């Protein structure tokens, strides 16, 4: 995780845009793009690298609003979005909920509220695979951010207050628990086989009495988890 999270902003009021942009930069995020209309947003997204997009719902009279953009992003891109509005009316909230946003932020907001919304969006993105149809896992925060392809994950190891995610080429470290990360991985592919390990079942090379071999790593299997592993592999 050696790069900041890249955030795109859609906001048609200049002072609000400037405040949000400066807040994100001061917090350690990278603002990679900004737009004031749906048309401008769609055009810029074609060539801009984005990890998350913040969408002001109200984009001026006669304009396609942020909810319209949220629907478009859901259908065409693989990153989470947050709705931003100064008008938290029941009708707006109901309309927004139908598009299943990853988080919701009301103006005016402070740094804590902004940061919390971003973290909630990441968690929602990871947890709700049906909604996001994603093949990636987002981890990290602000300056330390990474997108990991699920196919690349071999196993996850608990290390005190952190977890380590091992891929074929790299190791990632995240301050969270094994149970939390397990909830964010598709259960049809990942299984906890030990109190300290979650594995990608498709990466198993060999199984011994009390361990599995994944690449060159020997990973222990607890007695209570072995039968479930065997069932998942159709060996029982």
Report angle CA 68, 84, 186 to the nearest 5 degrees: 75
Distance between alpha carbon 66 and the CA centroid of its chain, in Å?
20
pTM of the model: 0.85
pLDDT at 235 over 60: no
Comparing 39-43, 83-87, 147-151, the range with the smallest average pLDDT is 83-87
Per-residue pLDDT band for 131 (boundaries 50, 70, 90) equals low
Strands (E), 128-210: 136-141, 144-149, 153-159, 162-167, 171-174, 190-194, 197-200, 204-207
pLDDT at 133 over 60: yes
Q: What is the DSSP letter of 175?
A: S
Sign of the dihedral defined by the CA atoms of residues 53, 57, 63, 69, in that order = positive
Tokens of 224: 């209570």
With CA atoms as reference, report the closest residue to 78 among 120, 49, 119. 49
With CA atoms as reference, report the closest residue to 127 among 99, 163, 102, 93. 102
Decide: 64 and 38 in contact? Cβ < 8 Å: yes
Decide: 87 and 58 in contact? Cβ < 8 Å: yes
pLDDT tens per residue across span 152-188: 999 999 998 899 999 988 999 999 999 999 999 988 8
Tokens of 72: 């478009």
pLDDT at 77 over 70: yes
Distance between alpha carbon 121 and the CA centroid of its chain, in Å?
7
What mean pLDDT do residues 23-45 have? 95
H or E, element range at 121 = helix 111-127
Higher pLDDT, 229 or 88: 229
What mean pLDDT do residues 106-129 have? 90
With CA atoms as reference, report the closest residue to 108 among 31, 33, 23. 23
Tokens of 226: 């072995």
- Distance between CA 203 and CA 224 in Å, rounded? 21
Strands (E), 71-167: 81-85, 103-106, 136-141, 144-149, 153-159, 162-167
Per-residue confidence (pLDDT) for residue 236, from 0 to 100:
42
Q: What is the mean pLDDT of the chain?
A: 89
pLDDT at 141 over 70: yes
Per-residue confidence (pLDDT) for residue 127, from 0 to 100:
86
């Amino acid at each position: 995780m050696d790069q900041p999270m890249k955030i795109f902003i859609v906001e048609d009021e200049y002072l609000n845009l400037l405040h949000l942009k400066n807040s994100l930069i001061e917090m350690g995020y990278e603002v990679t793009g900004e737009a004031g209309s749906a048309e401008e947003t769609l055009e810029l997204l074609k060539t801009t690298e984005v990890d998350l997009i913040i969408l002001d719902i109200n984009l001026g009279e006669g304009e396609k609003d942020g909810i319209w953009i949220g629907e478009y992003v859901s259908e065409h891109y693989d990153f989470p979005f947050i709705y931003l509005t100064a008008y938290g009316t029941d009708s707006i909230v109901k309309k927004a909920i139908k598009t299943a946003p990853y988080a919701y932020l009301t103006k005016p907001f402070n740094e804590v509220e902004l940061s919390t919304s971003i973290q909630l969006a990441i968690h929602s993105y990871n947890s709700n695979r049906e909604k996001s149809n994603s093949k990636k896992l987002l981890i990290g925060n602000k300056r330390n951010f990474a997108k990991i392809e699920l196919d690349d994950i071999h196993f996850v190891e608990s290390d005190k207050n952190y977890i380590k995610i091992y891929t074929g080429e790299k190791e990632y470290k995240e301050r969270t628990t094994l149970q939390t990360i397990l909830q964010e991985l598709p259960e049809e592919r990942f299984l906890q086989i030990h109190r300290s390990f979650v594995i990608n079942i498709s990466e198993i090379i060999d199984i011994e009495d009390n361990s599995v071999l994944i690449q060159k790593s020997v990973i222990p299997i607890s007695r209570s988890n072995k039968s479930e592993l065997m069932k998942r592999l159709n060996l029982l």
